[in-house]
Structure 1
Amino acid sequence: MDYMKQERERGITITSAAITFGWRKHRINLIDTPGHVDFTIEVERSVRVLDGSVTILDAVSGVEAQTQKVWTQADRYGIPRIAFINKMDRVGAGFGRTVREMQRKLQTRPLVCQIPMMRTDERGNLDFYGVVDLLDMQLLDWDKDPNGRVIQKTVITDNYHDQTFYKELMKGRTCLVEALSELDDQILDIFLASEEHMKVSADDIRQALRRVTLSGKAVPVFCGASLKNIGVQPLMDAIVDYLPSPLDRPAPLANLGEGGTAQITLREKDPLCALAFKVVHDQRRGAMVFVRVYSGVLDNRMSLYNTNIHQKERANKLLQMYADEVEEIPSINTGNIGAVVGLKETRTGDTLINWNDSRKNLRLPSIDIPAPVFFCAVEPISASEEKPLEEALKNILREDPSLHVHTDPESGQTLISGMGELHLEIVKDRLLNDFKVKAEIGKMRISYRETATAELSDLSYLYDKEVMGKRAKAQISLSISSLSEDDLGVASEGSNRIELEIINPDLLENNDDTSSEKQMQTKLTLEEINSAVRGGILSALYRGPILGFPLTGLRVKAHALQLFGAESTKTAISSCASQALTQAVKSASPALLEPLMEVSVEVSEEYLGIVISDLSGVRRGHVISLETLGRGDANTEQKLHQNEVYAPPDSTYKYGEHEGSLGISKPKRIVHAHVPLSSMLGYASALRSLTAGNASFNMIVYRFGLMSEDRARNVIAEMQGGY
């Protein structure tokens, strides 16, 4: 499903891809999402439309930082999950260790449904070749077919040749039944009636697993090695058995405007309601809009209405997606996803209904878009290339809402802002190679933020200018203050609060010299006035006074507005509010903010001191905690007993005493730190040099923090030197 050239070159997933297929007489719509932090918007908009998810974990790396981020995204939407611990065939794989990390780092209740089968090969190394299903007590062996198509099943009984291993299997199934009995009343009644753990049938356990998964109380855990196709078929069975169908999910609530809501029921006879969650630009077909249909049926050639932009659209063609291949279909039914060709203006997060539907203000909850932290300048190499560059940027911007494009008013340069170095690198590659744009792309820089550190209680600003021969005049009073440190740390564009008190006509003042006839010529409603003030404030928040970066962490309160009859147009009011806020921030000790990253470095014990010294000294970071990535000991077993979560030991049961000779890696340490993003540029190569390649790291945006005066002076000097 990684069909893009950039994905195949780098060996990673960059954009989410969809495919539809059948399994056990069920229809499955699968969306494959990236794991890299720079492409978190792909996860966000995919999770928004999913009914359930499979969280894939690396058996060697365990629960990584980005895994925690994605898990939090799924928590926000209440998505039921199952977990698949992959790469069990690699040296250092730890199934039990990863299960324990799931409980500790993801704050969830993992339920082990399989135990990996390991053996030693001729060279004395561990070899993963199958799993034991704890529900049926069957050994699933993929050893007969290198392509993983043929599964040999063997029932394990009490006369199994390895009694130590058999006891571990008994323990695993006992713990599974007991855990389900705590979470589900029905399985508890069955267990009490049977009086034995082993007498609880596999079908009863499956039904209980489905109930606790749908309720979000626990997460079934499976394992395998996808490279060898080991464990894939049981995982597909688990998707059908435990994850919800659209009918099992709560009906979404849509906004009807003016505080009203409507529940969108999953019925094909109801009016159409669909959400556009992704846009892809195809060289031959143009824009393809991926939609999830929540009610009704989306038919080919149907006239649609986009309630977000209040515009009519037409579905010229409907497609069923198979990664980069397509199949034309006559309709997209309720609960399914598909792609629509012909929508000219629809973007990510827009709601689509039938053109004849009277609910013109109906909107499904939109999709959260993260704030960019890097930017670079892009310029066409000649005047003739300006239009192709503009069209290419328009198409990329429509595809990727986490990408921002704007023009610097001082330099006149076009600036592209993205989520990270790799994000902008992919954009650059696509501009030059996919869209064939002849352009020069400047050095990558960090997108800082600005704020005001002092409080300004009352600033009155008079806007009085002549524009195109007509006088525009308005006066506003506003105050600004800083939000709390917690609010200031929110790494998003929306971390400001705007409070308008211009909601009562008594608060609107008119100049005494203005005649009553002239006052009547204003003809602006309170809603229009509020909208103009808010629009002006938002435009001023987009550009700070120091270096032109967006303002954040501010509480802005507009509490008085003076009108001057017909001269106080909406444009005059908006410009007055904008310039008033700019003046207020300049007078309230403006300061620069820089993005702080939450960094996790996995490193061997021998290099621990070097890594900590580099993070806290050279990179101006603050080490938060240290963690040991171990295989389990007496203390770990005691904690597991207290928390009542079962995880099998990671070494082979028969050959456990020979762990040192079986290629199992030694425990590593994980360093958690908060580090300024500017200090993390080029950290991947630096870390390899420091640790001889024996370390890896992940980082995500933590928050925006105040920059020191010395650092701010250096940044200002660097930025004013040009892009």
Structure 2
Amino acid sequence: MDYLSQERARGITITSAAITFAWRNYRINLIDTPGHADFTIEVERSIRVLDGAVTILDGVAGVEAQTQTVWAQADRYNVPRIAYVNKMDRVGARFGRTVRQIAKKLRTRTLVCQIPIMKKDARGENVFWGAVDLVEMDVLDWDQDVNGNIVKRIKLTEKYGDKSVYDEAVKGRMNLVEALSEMDDNILEIMLAEEDHMKVSAEEVRGALRRVTLSGKAVPVFCGASFRNRGVQPVLDAIVDYLPSPLDCAAPIGTLANGKNTVIPLKEKESLCALAFKVVHDHRRGSLVFVRVYSGTLNNRMSLYNTNTKTNERVNKLLKMHANDAEEIPCITAGNICALVGLKSTRTGDTLIQFNDSRKSLRLPSIEIPAPVFVCAVEPATVSDEKPLQEALENVLREDPSLHVINDEETGQTLISGMGELHLEIVRDRLLNDFKVRAEIGKMRISYRESIIDEIEHTCLYDKEIMGKRARVQMSLNISRLTEGDSGIAEEGGNRIELDLSQQSSPTQTPTQGPSLPPEDIATSIRSGLVSALYLI
């Protein structure tokens, strides 16, 4: 799903991509999101429209800093999750350590549903061979196919070849049932009646896992090695068994102009309501707007109304996406995701309804966009490149709302700001290679503000003879830091200047002194001096 040239060159995911496929007679809309901190907006807007999430962890690295950031984003939207510990085939992978880190660093209750089976290879090193399904008490064997497409299930009993695997699985099954009994009353009743953890049926355990996961009380944990296609199929089964369908989720709440809330029911025969969560510029198709349909049915060639921009839109094509490949479809129903071709002014976070809907002010909760930090200058190579550069920047800004472009009035430069150095490097590559713009990109700078720590008071007496005349002025200066959210910041580089001339004393006019200055001129002179000093700093 990493189809961009920059993604393939760096071996990382840069932009979120959507794909729709079937599994066990269910339709799954999957969005693959980046794991790098610079592309957190891709995670933010994807989680906003998802019903459930699979958190993939590195079995060697464990819970990383960005894992905690993404986990907090999912917490903010109350998205149920399952955890998948990947790369168990690598040297240094530790399943137990990663599970403990999930519980400690992510502050959640873990439910281990699989334990890995490690076997010695020809060199005598322990390698990931398979896994034990603690729900069914089966051994999952992928050795039947070199590509890992065939999963053979072997019933785990005391006669299994490796006695330690059976003992570890029994211990894991007991811990799983006990943990579920603490959170699910049905399992507690069954366990009290049977008085044996192993007699609790797989169907009862699976039902309890689903209820606990949907309520957000705990997170089921699985393991595998995706590079060798080992462990992928059980994770897909877990998505169907434990994560919510659109019908399991609470109906979204929209807001009208009068401040009243309205429920958006998940029904195909209701009025259309959809949220645009991503825009992609395609050189062949134009702008693709990805939408999540919350209510009603979205048809091809339908006329829409954007309640954020107050404009009419027309759907030219309706596409079901497979990463960068697309399949044209006639309609899409509530609960699904698709891409629209032909929308001119729709951006990330906009609400779309049918053009003849009377709810012209209806808006769904939008998407939080983080503030950019890194800044660099971008300039056209020649005067003739100004327009192509401007058009390319508009397309990039529409795609990525975490980017900001401003014109510096002092230097006349166009400044583009993003989330990090890699973020701006990708933008530079796209401008030069994808949009074929001839431009010069300056060095990256970090945008920050400085403030003093302690309050400072200072009084200065100016007493000097200028051109034969005695000039004497005294002024007191108080400098203190601005607090968060302090209002009234003027144009003096983020500083606020307040003048108090109430204690001004005018000297007695004498023929040699001349007239005293008016307060307005004094205030202007003082402000100019302070602003000049601030810029010199």
Mapped contact 2:213–2:219 kept (Cα < 8 A):
yes
Deviation at 1:125, TM superposition (A): 1.1
Distance 1:74 1:497, change over 3 A: farther
| 1:117 matches 2:117 | yes
1:524-558 CA-partner distances (Å, limit 9, x unpaired) = xxxxxxxxxxxxx7xx77xx523xxxx59x9x9xx
* Map of 2:163 onto structure 1: 163
* Map of 1:346 onto structure 2: 346
Match of 2:44, SS state, is helix
Match of 2:379, SS state, is strand
Structure 2 residue ranges without an equivalent (≥5): 456-478, 499-523
Map 1:294-443 → 2, pairs under 5 A: 294-443=294-443
* Map of 2:4 onto structure 1: 4
| 1:128 matches 2:128 | yes
Match of 1:449, SS state, is coil
* Map of 1:211 onto structure 2: 211
Match of 1:257, SS state, is coil
Map 1:482-561 → 2, pairs under 5 A: 488=484, 496=485, 545-546=492-493, 551=494
Deviation at 1:320, TM superposition (A): 0.5
Q: Distance in 2 between matches of 1:454 and 1:306?
A: 50
Distance 1:21 1:163, change over 3 A: same
Match of 1:275, SS state, is strand
The more displaced of 252-261 and 433-442 is: 252-261
Map 1:135-284 → 2, pairs under 5 A: 135-284=135-284
Amino acid at match of 2:329: I
Amino acid at match of 2:337: I
Q: Distance in 1 between matches of 2:335 and 2:383?
A: 48
Report the TM-score when normalising by structure 2: 0.87
Higher alpha-carbon Rg? 2
Q: Distance in 2 between matches of 1:232 and 1:240?
A: 13
Amino acid at match of 2:49: V
Amino acid at match of 1:166: Y
Deviation at 1:348, TM superposition (A): 0.2
1:74-133 CA-partner distances (Å, limit 9, x unpaired) = 000000000000000000000000000000000000100001010111211111111000
* Map of 1:627 onto structure 2: none
Deviation at 1:288, TM superposition (A): 0.5
Deviation at 1:451, TM superposition (A): 6.7
* Map of 2:42 onto structure 1: 42
* Map of 1:502 onto structure 2: none
* Map of 1:25 onto structure 2: 25
1:477-507 CA-partner distances (Å, limit 9, x unpaired) = xxx99675xxx4xxxxxxx366xxxxxxxxx
Structure 1 residue ranges without an equivalent (≥5): 456-479, 489-495, 499-536, 557-582, 591-711
Q: Distance in 1 between matches of 2:267 and 2:371?
A: 36
* Alignment RMSD (CA, Å): 2.3
Mapped contact 2:117–2:165 kept (Cα < 8 A):
no
Match of 2:22, SS state, is strand
* Map of 1:97 onto structure 2: 97
Match of 2:139, SS state, is strand
Amino acid at match of 2:250: P
Higher relative contact order (CA 8 A, sep 6+): 1
Distance 1:323 1:497, change over 3 A: farther
Deviation at 1:252, TM superposition (A): 0.9
Map 1:599-678 → 2, pairs under 5 A: none
Deviation at 1:307, TM superposition (A): 0.6
Amino acid at match of 1:328: E
Q: Distance in 2 between matches of 1:64 and 1:415?
A: 32
Q: Distance in 2 between matches of 1:162 and 1:287?
A: 57
1:446-485 CA-partner distances (Å, limit 9, x unpaired) = 1113679899xxxxxxxxxxxxxxxxxxxxxxxx99675x
Match of 1:352, SS state, is strand
1:198-240 CA-partner distances (Å, limit 9, x unpaired) = 0000111000000000000000000000000000111110000
* Map of 2:458 onto structure 1: none
Q: Distance in 2 between matches of 1:176 and 1:168?
A: 12
Q: Distance in 1 between matches of 2:165 and 2:82?
A: 25
Match of 1:247, SS state, is helix
Q: Distance in 1 between matches of 2:227 and 2:452?
A: 53
Q: Which runs of 4+ in 1 moved over 4 A?
A: 450-455, 480-484
Q: Distance in 2 between matches of 1:450 and 1:398?
A: 31
Mapped contact 2:272–2:298 kept (Cα < 8 A):
yes
Match of 2:256, SS state, is strand
Report the TM-score when normalising by structure 1: 0.65
Match of 2:9, SS state, is helix
Deviation at 1:186, TM superposition (A): 1.0
Amino acid at match of 2:338: G
Amino acid at match of 2:109: R
Q: Distance in 2 between matches of 1:481 and 1:27?
A: 59
Matched residue pairs, number? 484
* Map of 1:66 onto structure 2: 66
Distance 1:139 1:279, change over 3 A: same
Amino acid at match of 1:103: A
Q: Distance in 2 between matches of 1:250 and 1:223?
A: 30
Q: Distance in 1 between matches of 2:412 and 2:217?
A: 54
Q: Distance in 1 between matches of 2:266 and 2:259?
A: 23
Match of 2:146, SS state, is coil
Q: Distance in 1 between matches of 2:38 and 2:428?
A: 14
Q: Distance in 1 between matches of 2:486 and 2:340?
A: 37
Match of 1:397, SS state, is helix
Amino acid at match of 2:213: T
